[in-house]
A and B are shown apart, each in its own frame.
Chain A
Amino acid sequence: KAGVTQTPRYLIKTRGQQVTLSCSPISGHRSVSWYQQTPGQGLQFLFEYFSETQRNKGNFPGRFSGRQFSNSRSEMNVSTLELGDSALYLCASSLQGRGSGYTFGSGTRLTVV
């Protein structure tokens, strides 16, 4: 079956702009979570959605937001981009999000110039 699909793979944006990233989970998986990976901070949790509800949120500013649709697809949005937002953004899906393994997508590499 198809894995976790993230689009786009690469993105270049200018400071001050906003960006929307998309994640389609494995069919049947209702939990979607997002992570940011940077060389300095490593992999950090952004937020997790289950059945269109945000269940947990990491320690990121309000410029980072997300949502989940009824088909479990999720989007994350970053507004007023800063240079420090340049990172690899990874999405993971899980069957239930509790006591289940996570499967990751290929990621979106965002560069802010």
Chain B
Amino acid sequence: GIQVEQSPPDLILQEGANSTLRCNFSDSVNNLQWFHQNPWGQLINLFYIPSGTKQNGRLSATTVATERYSLLYISSSQTTDSGVYFCAVDQGAQKLVFGQGTRLTINP
């Protein structure tokens, strides 16, 4: 099956810093989403981005489908950005395959 790899596994930054999270996938996909898991476990949808670039406030994402990777950018990090970020892909089989996540810690 498709493999999804996220890097780095852990990232520790100071408030105000910028960060880039990467997601590599091993095959073509119909759907790619970035999620932020909050401390209570809920997966909050950040972007639905099978290709192209999207921006939402301080967050933006780019997926280069032909090269099988996606990047999530967080600018001017805040402590509330802390948590685990997941990339997940769907090949049209009605299921998401998740990466192992990047744990982001933003220190004040």
Contact = CB atoms under 8 A, between A and B. Distances in A.
Contacts of B44: 104
Interface stretch (A17-25, A48-56, A62-70, A77-85): A48-56
A43 B101 CA distance: 10
Contacts, number: 63
Interface in A90-109: 90, 92, 97-107, 109
A42 B45 contact: no
Given A56-B93, A101-B33, A90 B43 contact: yes
A40 to B, nearest CB: 11
Q: Give the interface residue-count category, chain B.
A: 20 to 34
24 contacts: A31-B94, A33-B95, A35-B96, A42-B100, A42-B101, A43-B86, A45-B95, A45-B96, A45-B97, A56-B93, A92-B43, A98-B30, A98-B94, A99-B30, A99-B31, A99-B50, A101-B48, A102-B90, A104-B45, A106-B40, A106-B41, A106-B42, A107-B40, A109-B41
* Nearest 9 Cβ contacts at the A-B interface: A101-B48, A43-B98, A104-B43, A45-B95, A48-B94, A106-B42, A97-B94, A107-B41, A56-B94
